[in-house]
Amino acid sequence: MEFKASIKEWDDADRPREKLLAKGKQALSDAELIAILLGSGNRDESAVDLSKRILKSVENSLPELSKMSIAELMKFKGIGEAKAISIVAAMELGRRRLGADVYERKKISSSRDVFHIFQAEMADSQYEEFWILLLNRANKIMKKVKIGDGGVSGTVADPKRIFRAAIDSMASSIILCHNHPSGNIQASNADRDLTRKVVNGAKYFDISVLDHIIIGDGNFYSFADDGRMPT
């Protein structure tokens, strides 16, 4: 059997670590970055080839890779528990960094700002989650609160919990957000009914409901952008 050359036998310019040092992190492909995490491949593949095979299994999608469990990663020859943990930890750091970058901006100026904040929370979730963002009069973030979660096809969002969280924080306005694990970001009848119920109830507390964002497969739907927020 003919084995592929290990990374140590490659020219320096082709080795991921040396390439990063010489050309910078932006010059590396996703597979090369993952190969650095792995450190080594197996008898049949270099770390880069193994990384390419892992990525191919999720159609070269990093969001899909981040959903893989340690057990799923360990099914690949050459991936033990330690390497699987390294990949999962790196994906989680990336998720947290995404959320931190947007959260530090504090002020919400568009639906995309909201998407980026909650995409970091819900990108890898296989179940529906419902969150709210609490804002002050300047549209600056006070806090984000998880209201409820559920199954693959639905979640329970109790308006009473939404109002309590907003009142306890003395919020001037709120933004609703939940995910659709199916990837379909279109609003359902239940989504529209809940939005209407929350908007009407919030009027009694002098709280504005600015938007309702639905997230799915790296994209989002905004009730406000679509002109569908109840008045």
The CATH number of the domain holding residue 201 is 3.40.140.10
Q: Which of 98, 120, 138 is the last residue of a domain?
A: 98
Q: Are residues 69 and 116 in the same domain?
A: no
Contact criterion met (CB below 8 Å) for 87 and 73: yes
- Which residues in the chain come in under a pLDDT of 70? 1-14, 98-105, 151-156
Q: Are residues 123 and 36 in the same domain?
A: no
Whether residue 4 is contained in a domain is answered as no
Whether residue 91 is contained in a domain is answered as yes
Rounded to an integer, what is the distance from CA 10 to the centroid of its chain? 35
User: What pLDDT does 18 receive?
Assistant: 87
User: What pLDDT does 151 receive?
Assistant: 56
Contact criterion met (CB below 8 Å) for 185 and 219: yes
Distance separating alpha carbons of residues 141 and 33, to the nearest angstrom: 34
Which residue range(s) make up the domain with 213?
A: 108-222
- Sort strands 141-149 and 129-135 into parallel, antiparallel or unpaired: antiparallel
Contact criterion met (CB below 8 Å) for 128 and 179: yes
User: What pLDDT does 102 receive?
Assistant: 53
**pTM of the full structure:** 0.60
Q: Are residues 83 and 114 in the same domain?
A: no
Whether residue 124 is contained in a domain is answered as yes
What pLDDT, in 10s, does the model give residues 128-153? 999 999 999 999 998 899 998 875 45
Whether residue 230 is contained in a domain is answered as no
User: What pLDDT does 162 receive?
Assistant: 95
Q: Are residues 71 and 118 in the same domain?
A: no
Q: How many helices and strands, by DSSP H and E, does the chain display?
A: 9, 5
Q: Are residues 87 and 118 in the same domain?
A: no
Looking at the 3D structure of the chain, how many domains does it have? 2
Q: Which of 68, 98, 128 is the last residue of a domain?
A: 98
Amino acid in position 68 = M
Q: Are residues 117 and 198 in the same domain?
A: yes
Q: At 71, which helix (H) or strand (E)?
A: helix 70-73
Whether residue 5 is contained in a domain is answered as no
